[in-house]
Amino acid sequence: MQPASRLVTSRVVRTPRLTLLPVGKENLPDLIPLKADPAVFGLMLHGVRTPERTLEELEDDIDFWAVRGYGTWSVHRTEDGEFLGIAGLMERPDGRGVALRYALWPHCRGQGYAREAARAALEFGHAAGLRRIIAVARETNVSSCAVMADIGMTPAGEFTNLGHRMLVFESLR
């Protein structure tokens, strides 16, 4: 595990169009349908989640913020406060390191929101002292791979998971 070594003064991140807020219990009603949607979480590690698993993950995410000083944000459009999805940094369960992750509602795709949120999370992680941040996507998830490349992440390997070729990207600072 790699603790945050530099002080980041605020956990709230603002971009030109988005506000990223550390997840809390108040986000559970938004997270349950997001994580149950196959169009959103079908390509994620471990796939769609039950409401019970979503609550467990939310509790883990809250604890992760307390221990690490970084974690998962709920992503909101600033102009109207609409919940668009999540973005953040999390320790991968397979030991590959701290990983960037993002998942937004399908109606948000093609508008640059994932790219904007992912870039903000990546910058936050590096400012918090993380030297290396990875991201993983299925080879067939062309949109996600494009986001990683567009925010400056570079290919760093691959592996197979449940018969799927997974691409690893990294950002080094």
Give burial (CB, 10 Å; 0-12/13-18/19+) of 165.
Answer: exposed
- What are the sequence ranges of the domains in the chain? 13-131
pLDDT in tens, 145-170: 999 999 999 999 999 988 989 999 99
Q: Is the overall model pTM greater than 0.85, yes or no?
A: yes
Q: Is 13-131 assigned to CATH 3.40.920.10?
A: no
What's the pLDDT tens digit per position in 58-117? 999 999 999 999 999 999 999 999 999 999 999 998 889 999 999 999 999 999 999 999
Mean pLDDT (whole number) for 46-50: 90
DSSP state of 25: G
Amino acid 6: pLDDT: 41
